[in-house]
Amino acid sequence: MTKFTVLSGSSSEDLAKKLAKKLGANLIKSQLRIFPDGESKITLMKKPQKNKIIVIQSTYPPVDEKLIQTLAIISKAKEYGIEVVAVIPYMGYARQDREFLPGEVITMKVIANLFKSVGTSKIVVVDIHSMMGLKYFNIKTKNVSAIPDLAKYFSKLKLKNPLVVSPDQGGKERAREFAKFLKTESISLEKRRDRKTGKVKIKSTSFDEIADRDLILVDDMISTGGSIIKATEFLKKQKCRRVFVACTHALLRNDAEKKIKKAGVTKIISTNTIPGKTSLVDVSSTIAKAII
């Protein structure tokens, strides 16, 4: 009997397959049917063995739909498994981890309670937007970094004197870590976002070290691409060569990919936490290490 069973939600089937292979685990898919009223009906394709069950599903848009489906699968898995580990490669609502403006609901606190209530023993996430969000989980949590996997991909590209750039001060450490893998330097731009309108501005500062170098803009997630576009426009004025984007989670909403390319980005490289055209980097080995 294998030690693990991997249960796959519909949003992470390819990653689930790779993870099951890395763990030498049984893989059980789930069948999803959406009714005309929007309700989800989920059926497990096989009965799991009574062992440690890993449920894997990213909660990318439509977030609420994916979240309910994930909780439903975990609840069913708990009927068979002694221990249920929830692997949520992309955790939706991670930006709602505190009360920024009076009256705002801290949705991550609500989600943490939901995961516990359905019987989750441990939760594994990849590059969660804010570590503060994990503090609301009254169960074991593990955040793993995709930076080594992304950096390994970029190390194989023929880049001219690469420089790693964070689009904001909040990602300074991420850029520094990425640069360490590539044995190069990093810089951080200063971004200002209006909390009410969401508009982004880059505080104008000149960087002498940018000229005639290939740049790698590193971020944890790209939603509409506003920050990346503003950063690229600023960097292009500094006479850099090519601009690449490396991110863990490529949501790319509202034609974001097209807009980012139009701003002057050569290529967007993301991981398979969210499947798509840009998800060229596999994080299954990194997730497997967090489970074993």
The whole-angstrom separation of Cα 221 and Cα 131 is: 14
Q: 191, 239, 261, 289: which is the annotated catalytic residue? A: 191
Residue closest to 285 by CA, chosen among 100, 104, 148: 148
Distances (CA, A) of 143 to 22, 26, 176, 222: 19, 24, 18, 18
Phi, psi of 115 (to 5 degrees): -60, -40
**Can you read off the two tokens belonging to residue 190?**
């200063």
| Residue 264 CB neighbour total at 10 angstroms | 14
Is 122 an annotated catalytic residue?
Answer: no
| Residue 165 CB neighbour total at 10 angstroms | 30
The whole-angstrom separation of Cα 197 and Cα 207 is: 28
Distances (CA, A) of 257 to 111, 156, 181, 217: 29, 23, 26, 14
Task: Map residue 100 onto helix, strand or coil.
Answer: coil
Supply the DSSP symbol for 99: -
Give the residue numbers annotated as catalytic, written as ranges. 191
